[in-house]
Amino acid sequence: MPALARSLAAPCAALAACTAPADSGVPDDSQVPDAGIEAVEVLSVPDGPGDLELAPDGRVLIATRWGSDVLAWDPATDETDTVHHAVSGLQGVAWDPGYERLWAAVSDNIWGSLGWLDEGNYVAISSEAVDGTPIRLPEDVALAPDGSLVAVDSSMGNLLRADTSTGVATATPITVGNPRALCFHGGDLIVGGADGVYRVDPHGGAATLLDARPARGVLSWEGILLADNDDDGVFVVGGGRVGGTELLGPGPMLGRNGILYVSDIAGDWL
Average the pLDDT over 63-86 and give the result.
84
Average the pLDDT over 127-136 and give the result.
95
Question: Rounded CA gap, 138 and 90, in Å?
Answer: 9
CATH architecture of the region 4-20+34-261: 6 Propeller (2.120)
Number of C-beta neighbours around residue 82 at 10 A: 12
Average pLDDT, the chain: 84
Asked whether residue 2 carries a pLDDT value surpassing 50, the answer given is no
Most confident of 42-51, 69-78, 117-126, 203-212: 203-212
Average the pLDDT over 175-194 and give the result.
95
List the chain domain ranges. 4-20+34-261
The confidence band for 10, taking pLDDT boundaries of 50, 70 and 90, is very low
Determine the pLDDT at residue 24.
Answer: 40
The confidence band for 209, taking pLDDT boundaries of 50, 70 and 90, is very high
Residues of the chain above pLDDT 90, percent: 51
pTM: 0.88
Of 31-40, 221-230, 259-268, the least confident: 31-40
Question: Rounded CA gap, 56 and 79, in Å?
Answer: 16
Lay out the sheet containing 39-44: strands in order across. 39-44, 4-8, 259-264, 250-256
Element at 4 (helix H, strand E): strand 4-8
Asked whether residue 7 carries a pLDDT value surpassing 70, the answer given is no
